[in-house]
């Protein structure tokens, strides 16, 4: 059983590593980081690099696919190599998943047309542009397609996948092994919980950073 | 203002990337991954690699230090290069921190003698061996030394550091930007919340994996 996590320049590190550190604890699960080219992939903050060990051509039949988000996703949304790979592997997956703006790649590949899905809260409109129905839930499952909200939501999604793949007890054990008993010091992790001016401030910052990648 | 995150073979990826993806969003914060050697550092699951951009010698005055955990930490607990570096940079830090079993390195360096601290729940006894007083809290702050519980606790710790460094509003904005509104599908993220047999099962697995690294 194999999980492939897609890497590309400008991804968000935690989008990839949250699901990695959960799914990699599943007994018998083989993990592979895949990218257009092997080697270092700088993340969207520039000071972090994750390493791809396989090229897209080399990963043809993963059981689980995870597409992380990040500002850099915009540069692959119209790239045939990435779109063809997502469409091809989706034919054979048990679960095709995304975290944050990774959902935009699933959308661009045509997987979300008419489908309820989620992404980072600041990208609902962009997601809707691919025919998806943006949904403000932390994890949205429609058939084999599972989309998670922004960045940290990949951890919650991956624990759900563990339960689907190997049962609730295994998922509970993995939650305990990563001591996932979250205690954020504030309660502003979703737009409806945060002051409106903070939400608007961040929308502006996101738009600026997206522009830098366009 | 600089944050240095220590890498070494056999670290746990999420221990490092949780704090990275929070602290790297602080305005003006320079992030650097540091290790004995630059380049790829394989994490404890083997299928993931993070990249160190600087050697220990090159990072002499970080304001914040983060020591992640992982089974591989055991191989550096008696290594003078790592111990000397931790002691030297601690002289000048604003915050010296650890996630999970990263606390063992702080302990081995003599920073936790008589001090309340936390680590992964399966390593309390090991931590006590360095004179620390193991504490079952998610984040423990004693002066400039902040220790976080297992793996995922680094996210909560890093948000607290953001608040200390740049105020509550900035920390709240970062929480919203990573959409950290945790909704784990189960509630077994701490030993006191999990069935006793699950806790014992995992203690056995941890002991086996630690032995493989000793």
In whole angstroms, how far apart are CA A94 and each of B28, B135, B184?
Answer: 43, 41, 22
User: Among residues B11, B100, B104, B157, which one is catalytic?
Assistant: B100
* Model confidence at B27: pLDDT above 80: yes
A213: confidence class by pLDDT, cuts 50, 70, 90: confident
What distance in Å separates the CA atoms of residue B163 and residue A185, rounded to the nearest whole number? Answer: 9
Q: Is A159 on the interface with B (CB under 8 A)?
A: yes
* Model confidence at B192: pLDDT above 80: yes
* Model confidence at B212: pLDDT above 80: no
What distance in Å separates the CA atoms of residue A196 and residue B116, rounded to the nearest whole number? Answer: 39
Provide ipTM, 2 decimals.
0.96
Please list every residue in chain B whose beta carbon sits closer than 8 Å to the beta carbon of residue A189: 175-176, 178-182
Please list every residue in chain B whose beta carbon sits closer than 8 Å to the beta carbon of residue A121: 179
In the residue annotation, A100 being an active-site residue is answered as: yes
Identify whether the C-beta of residue B73 lies closer than 8 Å to the C-beta of residue B11: yes
How far does B151 lie from chain A, in Å, by closest CA?
5
**What is the per-residue pLDDT for B176?**
96
* Model confidence at B214: pLDDT above 70: no
Question: Which residue is it, tokens 């914060």?
Answer: B29
What distance in Å separates the CA atoms of residue A204 and residue A77, rounded to the nearest whole number? Answer: 22
Cβ of B150 and A177 within 8 Å?
A: yes
> Of A50, A44, A52, which is closest to residue A74 (Cα–Cα)?
A44
pLDDT digits over A158-189, tens only?
999 999 999 999 999 999 999 999 999 999 99
pLDDT digits over B51-107, tens only?
999 999 999 999 999 999 999 999 999 999 999 999 999 999 999 999 999 999 999
Q: Residue A11 has what DSSP assignment?
A: B
Mean pLDDT, range B162-177, rounded to an integer: 96
How many residues in chain A?
214
Q: Is A156 on the interface with B (CB under 8 A)?
A: yes
Q: How many CB atoms lie within 10 A of CB B88?
A: 14
Q: How many CB atoms lie within 10 A of CB A91?
A: 8
């Amino acid at each position: 059983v194999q999980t492939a996590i897609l890497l590309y320049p400008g991804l968000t590190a935690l989008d990839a590593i949250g699901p990695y550190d959960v799914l990699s604890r599943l007994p018998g699960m083989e993990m592979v980081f895949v990218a257009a080219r092997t080697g270092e992939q700088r993340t969207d903050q520039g000071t972090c690099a994750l390493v791809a060990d396989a090229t897209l051509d080399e990963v043809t039949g993963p059981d689980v696919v995870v597409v992380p988000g990040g500002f850099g996703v915009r540069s692959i949304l119209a790239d045939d190599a990435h779109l063809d790979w997502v469409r091809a592997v989706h034919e054979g997956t048990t679960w095709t998943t995304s975290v944050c703006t990774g959902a935009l790649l699933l959308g661009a590949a045509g997987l979300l047309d008419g489908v309820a899905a989620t992404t980072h809260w600041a990208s609902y409109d962009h997601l809707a542009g691919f025919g998806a129905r943006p949904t403000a839930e932390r994890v949205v499952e429609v058939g084999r397609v599972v989309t998670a909200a922004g960045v940290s939501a990949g951890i919650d999604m991956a624990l759900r996948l563990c339960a689907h793949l190997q049962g609730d007890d295994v998922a509970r054990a993995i939650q305990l092994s990563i001591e996932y008993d979250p205690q954020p010091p504030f309660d502003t992790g979703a737009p409806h919980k945060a002051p409106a001016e903070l939400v608007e401030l961040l929308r502006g910052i996101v738009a600026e950073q997206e522009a830098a990648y366009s």
